[in-house]
Amino acid sequence: MPLCQKKWTEITSRSLLPGDICSIGRSKPIYRGQDMTEPIVPCEMLLLHGGCVVNEAMLSGESIPLRKEALDVAHYDANTKLNVDETNLAMKKHILYGGTKVLQFTNNVTTVGRLPSIPDPPEKGCIAFVLRTGFGTTQGNLMRTILFSAPRVTANNKESMLFILFLLCFAVLAAGTVLQQGLNDPTRNTFKLFLHCVMIITSVVPPELPMELSLAVTNSLLSLTKLSIFCTEPFRIPFAGKVDVVCFDKTGTLTSDALEMHGVAGLQSTSLVALEDPQQLVAPAALPTSIQLILAGCHSLMALDGKVVGDPLETTIMSHVKWSLRPGDVMLPHLSFVPGPKSMKIVHRYAFSAELKRMSSIVVLGSSTESDSLGVKLLSKGAPEVMESLFASIPDYYTRVYKHYALKGCRVLALGSKALSTRDLQRLKTIARSEMEKNLEFGGFLVLDCPVKHDTTDVIQELKTSKHVLVMITGDNALTALDVAKQIQLASHLNTLILQPSKTKEDALVWVDPRFDKASTKQLPFESNQETMASLAASTNLCVTGDALTLLTPAQLQLVVRHACVFARTSPSQKEAILDALNQCGFVTAMCGDGTNDVGALKRAHVGISIINNPDQPTTTPTEPSSSHVVKFGDASIASPFTSKQPSIRATCQILCQGRCTLVTTLQMYKILGINCLLSAYVLSSLYMYGVKQGDMQMTVVGVVIALFYLFLSYAKPCTRLSARRPLTRVFCLSVLLSMGIQFVVHLATLAAALDVALPFVDMDDPAMHPEAKFRPNVLNSIVFVVSLHMQINTFVVNYHGAPFMQSFHDNRYLAKWTYLSYSLVLIALWEVFPPINDLLELAFLPSFETQVHVTILLALDTVAVLGLEAGLQYLTARYPALMA
């Protein structure tokens, strides 16, 4: 419902334009029976008043509801230019994205005064400003990506064009030879001569190349979809076969979202609980009321349909405290007779920020009498090293306690609070967040455990075996990240060094052993040279903190990313910078994350993989043909090209395996097309001068046979495990060019030998042998047809690589059966086993048994020669990859 001339009117969502003011509330159904309990946002809007709870699974794949808050317009004037781009993470909490569902909406009547020029909407909905519509929205960008990325999977790239030009050189040479000889023959028709030269040139420009390459990628898409992996940018699949470095987020990716709360450590001596050691954990049930308030009131959870939904970490905390969340952000204790507040209402939140690494909320405590208030408090939790500067005072054991649990791989959050006055609450919108969150009272350390997912270690081992460089990039504590890295064997050395800013020298970096961070003798100055870094990385796990990244120059960052295995306490922008540095170093990168916090890094990587941790997602893979190939919103993600519905990093190996298979299949097709085109140019040029032609039925049969070979070749499935051997990534490398050249020479020699066998049985003065005469079956045409068809079959068999990148030749049942059937057709035609086949193929009967034996020997020699030479070449490629690749 938009605002028009200060009056609310009803129009269709299609009529909305950027700049309109509209109300988000209960919509009327468009058709009978339509479910309007969860209205869909029609375009992208900026919330000006009220609040919403939305489900953005349509875009990100994450089913966790998100809270959207109104932008405080009082802080801006008419000349302020807001950055409302989707890359601005700070603004995302104020934007409703098109295609998302509104689960709840509220219109706080106490704050209408903030928008005095806008009347209240009749249905008491939220007031929003239209930012983008149609294909300009995030949903529109996703739709455009899904619809129009497929044409990019064609031969229209630099390497394909160079490959065609390479073949064209041979075609021009062959056509020039035919043209020269034809012009010297006065009996030749000049028009037909030029037409034949054009045919020779066009024969080496394979028109089916784009189709064959697209076929390989399309079948790869279908294979990934059956594994619940969806891809919006198919051209990324071959990139997956070239990946050198695989980066992982930690929380929700390597570790499970099913957190376990151990308790609170570091309670002060003034606590109600008697403690002998500050490292001792206190169970949630035994915590003092002040700590219970922090755990129960500092969160972004919401009550939806009688359930508490939101961040898994916060839902875990809420399940352990003696408070329950009710609609309207009201908290009630489980037992009303327990001393302390009888209610707690969250009146304002400072949302969690990956840059600030903390969140806070302001609550009003209530007594048994609704009119009485027990005061206002600010409750806060965040990273211990960040919160340290916000506390008015800290105990001497502060660092020792939180590092003790961080070294065990636990997730540690520092808790704090402070009392506020009613005057502070009234001035809430004019006081900066940094001012509100200072001088906190330390409340202890919340200790949670993020168990490693059951198959994470196996996947990491497989990736290490396949010689991939593995990197962890996380926003968590460095000690926690290192412990998890050692658990999953991503960090395999005994010793560890952390790069962090020096505490004694400004703008200086030092390597610190986490066990002796206070001992200056255990600190090493950072030296930005390759030899020192390589020497350290050879025997030590290197970890880099986000604070250290801010002090590194671009050149130093490129040096560090080559050797560090863990990056901790990194912000989203720093994750992007790390991926950028890896790309600039010449690596092909893959990034695996949870799809929401790592959007920037996922898009920077060559291969971005979103892992959707959806507990409601079925573990079975789709088998229905009607749905297995359809990519729907909610399957694809705005975060990255690949979206996996499996809550496991196993999808990373599956994508890399499929990428290698697709890459090898693509190179095979280049080689096969190249060799067949060169043979066609020879047949149409040199052999054409001898009167060699093909009948219509022969050309039809050859076309069908070759087309089915290409189809079955693209059916090849990847191997189930990654190999340490890397596939070739370029057409113009020594291995591919030698392979094509050797096979072409062998086939050329075989054709020349077949020509010698057939020429004694034909009369070259016969008018039927004239190049421009009509096709008539004879011994020469028949032998050349049989030999050339056999060589084309050999080309597919020889260039099918199989293991270790794809299933073996015999495991590809369709290809193997079609190969044997095609070989049988050649032998049946050669030995005239079933004469009607020879008649159908327009073949002349061979003059003698010796001729058949001679041709059979030629076919056998051609097969053995190309198989043997290709096997030797593949051995050399595996033995000397740097030279051959």
Tell me the pLDDT tens digit for each residue of 683-705: 777 777 777 777 889 889 998 99
Q: Which residues contact 298 (CB under 8 A, 6 or more apart)?
A: 359, 360, 361, 379, 380, 381, 415
Helix, strand, or coil here: 330? strand
Taking each helix axis from N to C end, the angle separating 398-406 and 478-487, rounded to the nearest 10 degrees, works out to: 20
Lowest mean pLDDT among 159-173, 393-407, 452-466, 813-827: 159-173
**pLDDT confidence of 854, banded at 50, 70, 90?**
very high
* Kind plus residue range of the DSSP H or E element containing 611: strand 607-611
* DSSP letter string, 361-418: EEEEEE-SSTT-EEEEEEEEEE-HHHHGGGEEE--TTHHHHHHHHHTTTEEEEEEEEE
pLDDT of 543: 95
Taking each helix axis from N to C end, the angle separating 158-183 and 650-685, rounded to the nearest 10 degrees, works out to: 10
In the block, residue with structure tokens 């076929």 = 215
Gap between the Cα atoms of 556 and 31, Å rounded = 61
Gap between the Cα atoms of 557 and 550, Å rounded = 10
CB 30 within 8 A of CB 3: no
Helix, strand, or coil here: 427? coil
Whether 269 has a pLDDT exceeding 70, the answer reads no
Whether 257 has a pLDDT exceeding 90, the answer reads no
Lowest mean pLDDT among 149-158, 480-489, 757-766: 149-158
Lowest mean pLDDT among 112-116, 433-437, 838-842: 112-116
Lowest mean pLDDT among 76-80, 477-481, 516-520: 516-520
Strand partners, 593: 610
Average pLDDT over every residue of 278-294: 87
Percent of residues, the chain, with pLDDT higher than 70: 88
Q: How many CA atoms lie less than 13 Å away from 430 in the CB half-sphere?
A: 5
Average pLDDT over every residue of 111-120: 63
How many angstroms separate the first and last alpha carbons of the chain? 62
Strands 607-611 and 642-644 turn out to be parallel
Largest alpha-carbon pair distance within the chain? 119
CB 281 within 8 A of CB 263: yes
User: Which is catalytic among the residues 20, 249, 257, 580?
Assistant: 249
Whether 136 has a pLDDT exceeding 90, the answer reads no
pLDDT of 150: 43
Whether 552 has a pLDDT exceeding 90, the answer reads yes
**pLDDT confidence of 682, banded at 50, 70, 90?**
confident
CB 350 within 8 A of CB 364: no
728 phi/psi in degrees, rounded to 5: -70, 145
Gap between the Cα atoms of 479 and 515, Å rounded = 10
**72 labelled catalytic:** no
CB 497 within 8 A of CB 524: yes
pTM over 0.85: no
Lowest mean pLDDT among 161-165, 579-583, 818-822: 161-165
Q: What is the mean pLDDT of the chain?
A: 84
Q: How many CA atoms lie less than 13 Å away from 540 in the CB half-sphere?
A: 20
Which amino acid appears at position 15 of this protein? S
Q: Which residues contact 421 (CB under 8 A, 6 or more apart)?
A: 376
pLDDT of 657: 95
Closest of 33, 90, 68, 193 to residue 571, by C-alpha: 90
Gap between the Cα atoms of 239 and 249, Å rounded = 20
Gap between the Cα atoms of 391 and 106, Å rounded = 35
Strands 509-512 and 495-501 turn out to be antiparallel
Most confident listed range (247-261, 623-637, 845-859): 845-859
CB 477 within 8 A of CB 543: no
pLDDT of 434: 87
Gap between the Cα atoms of 227 and 233, Å rounded = 17
Tell me the pLDDT tens digit for each residue of 13-47: 888 899 899 988 765 554 445 555 567 888 999 99
Angle at alpha carbon of residue 651, lines to 649 and 657, rounded to 5°: 125
